[in-house]
Amino acid sequence: MTTVGILGGGQLARMMALAGAPLGLRFLVMDTVADACAGQFAPLIVGDWRDERALSEFASRVDVATFDFENVPAESAQWLAQRIPVFPSPRALAVAQDRLAEKTLFRELDIPVPEFADITSRADLDAAIARLGTPCILKTRRLGYDGKGQFRIRSAADTDAAWAALGAQAGTVGLILEGFVSFDRELSVVAVRGRDGEFRIWPLTENWHVDGVLSASLAPATVDAATAATAFEYARRLAESLDYVGVFALELFACGDVLLANELAPRVHNSGHWTIEGSETSQFQNHLRAVLGLPLGDTRMVGLACMLNWIGQMPDSAAVLREPGGHWHDYGKEPRAGRKVGHATLRADSRGALAEVLERVGQALQRPAQVAPVVAKLR
């Protein structure tokens, strides 16, 4: 019996455990909190990421380790990798944890990126704003997620406010300034690479964010063959340069037919949740297959799929459950403002049919604004 250890016990670990059950896998989850939602499906070790006793116990009980949480300290991942197989590698994790290292690697690989500058002082910030122009975004290099740790600078007059908000972190997690990209849309590539180097991607996904948090995803994104090939090539280049093993997502800003890379998520990704019902093999199962050295599954889609995120609290499930292509995911979390507590995936065989389903669901749940951009795209 193989036991997969997962560092981080959120909804990604929970869905991984659900996907691994048919493969006969067991799981052990480690998290810093006792109520981590994956703990409802797998034994949980509670401990700080740097707690060697907890890490030792974790290592002694699993055959292989992977991540639900991308900000596990790279040294802890390294410590584990000296004892058990860890995928993706601590090096891939370390690059993806740092927006500066990540964007520098993208550039080295000829993957276009928004303009950026390393910010270590207020003087750096002034100089970088003068160089990049406004609007621009100041971000922490590390530990940001769901748009947290970011300050949007509309004009140079916002510089004081931006520095007041984030300046103290210049010497800790570091800061980066990015040019603001007025993209036409956001796309993501969810990809998987096996231990033997086999590489596959799912059809591209189009994503809509509200206040920096993913709100809806549509797959397949409508893209021409050249754009799809470019996205595939960027993801493949990145995966090979990092000798990546497992699933990852590459977030892209599409400006006409130019794709700019925003960030790399070294794990299964929210914009790939639709693959659970919308693809022959889900991102969760393929991640496990990759990590365990098993053959990768087909990433073909079954129809079209739209995923809607539930943030803060769960709506009533009936409107989704009564749809033939409706699928419900409740992560079993306590409601809390801004927290991802669940999602729904709606599947249909045609664009028109999916638009109709989304309109019905949006109406019934009184969330017309959440479905509107997806419906507009489908019509």
Candidates 161-169, 193-201, 263-271, 277-285: pick the segment binding Mg ion (CB under 5 A): 263-271
Confirm whether residue 179 is marked as ligand binding: yes
Confirm whether residue 171 is marked as ligand binding: no
Q: Minimal distance in Å, beta carbon 146 to ligand ATP?
A: 4
Q: Minimal distance in Å, beta carbon 353 to ligand ATP?
A: 28
Confirm whether residue 224 is marked as ligand binding: no
Confirm whether residue 99 is marked as ligand binding: yes
Nearer to Mg ion, 217 or 285 (CB): 217
Instruction: State in Å, rounded, how far the first CA of the chain is from the last one.
Output: 49
Longest CA pairwise span in the chain (Å): 61
Q: Minimal distance in Å, beta carbon 126 to Mg ion?
A: 26
236 token code pair = 């493949």
Nearer to ligand ATP, 3 or 150 (CB): 150
Confirm whether residue 332 is marked as ligand binding: no
320 token code pair = 């989704």
Identify the helix (H) or strand (E) that includes residue 232: helix 225-241
Nearer to ligand ATP, 263 or 323 (CB): 263
Give just the sign of the alpha carbon dihedral 201, 248, 205, 100: negative
Nearer to Mg ion, 98 or 251 (CB): 251
149 token code pair = 């740790």
Which of the listed partners (ligand ATP, Mg ion, none) does 186 bind, with a CB threshold of 5 to 8 Å by partner kind?
ligand ATP
Confirm whether residue 180 is marked as ligand binding: yes
5 token code pair = 């250890």
Q: Minimal distance in Å, beta carbon 178 to ligand ATP?
A: 4
Backbone phi, psi, residue 352, to 5°: -60, -45
Place of tokens 């995928």: 87
Q: Minimal distance in Å, beta carbon 99 to ligand ATP?
A: 7
Q: Which residue is nearest to ligand ATP (CB)?
A: 181
Distances in Å between the alpha carbon of 355 and those of 33, 138, 222?
A: 40, 37, 15
Q: Minimal distance in Å, beta carbon 40 to ligand ATP?
A: 23
Nearer to ligand ATP, 141 or 200 (CB): 141
Confirm whether residue 144 is marked as ligand binding: yes
Distances in Å between the alpha carbon of 319 and those of 88, 131, 324, 330, 344?
A: 38, 51, 11, 14, 10
CB 269 within 8 A of CB 188: yes
Place of tokens 């669901």: 361
Binding residues for Mg ion, total number by CB under 5 A: 2
Confirm whether residue 181 is marked as ligand binding: yes
Which of the listed partners (ligand ATP, Mg ion, none) does 277 bind, with a CB threshold of 5 to 8 Å by partner kind?
none
Nearer to ligand ATP, 37 or 136 (CB): 136
Cα–Cα dist 33/173, whole Å: 22
Which of the listed partners (ligand ATP, Mg ion, none) does 300 bind, with a CB threshold of 5 to 8 Å by partner kind?
none
Site for Mg ion, residues 219 to 258, rule: CB under 5 A: 251
Cα–chain center distance at 27: 21
Confirm whether residue 148 is marked as ligand binding: yes
CB 244 within 8 A of CB 195: no
Which residues of this protein are in contact with ligand ATP, per CB under 6 A?
Answer: 114, 137, 144-148, 178, 180-181, 186, 209, 212, 251, 262-263
Residue 321: Cβ within 10 Å count: 11
CB 326 within 8 A of CB 320: yes
Confirm whether residue 330 is marked as ligand binding: no
Which of the listed partners (Mg ion, ligand ATP, none) does 114 bind, with a CB threshold of 5 to 8 Å by partner kind?
ligand ATP
Q: Minimal distance in Å, beta carbon 243 to Mg ion?
A: 22
Cα–Cα dist 354/358, whole Å: 6
Nearer to ligand ATP, 15 or 296 (CB): 15
Confirm whether residue 150 is marked as ligand binding: yes
* Residue 225 burial (C-beta neighbours within 10 Å; 0-12, 13-18, 19+): exposed
Nearer to Mg ion, 28 or 218 (CB): 218
Residues recorded for the chain: 379
Q: What is the 3-state secondary structure (H, E, C) of 81-92?
A: HCCCCECCCHHH
Q: Minimal distance in Å, beta carbon 274 to ligand ATP?
A: 16
Omega before 266 within 30 of 0, i.e. cis: no
Contact residues toward Mg ion (CB under 5 A) are: 251, 263
Q: Which residues are known binding-site members for ATP?
A: 99, 139, 144-150, 178-181, 186, 209, 262-263
Q: Which residues are known binding-site members?
A: 99, 139, 144-150, 178-181, 186, 209, 262-263
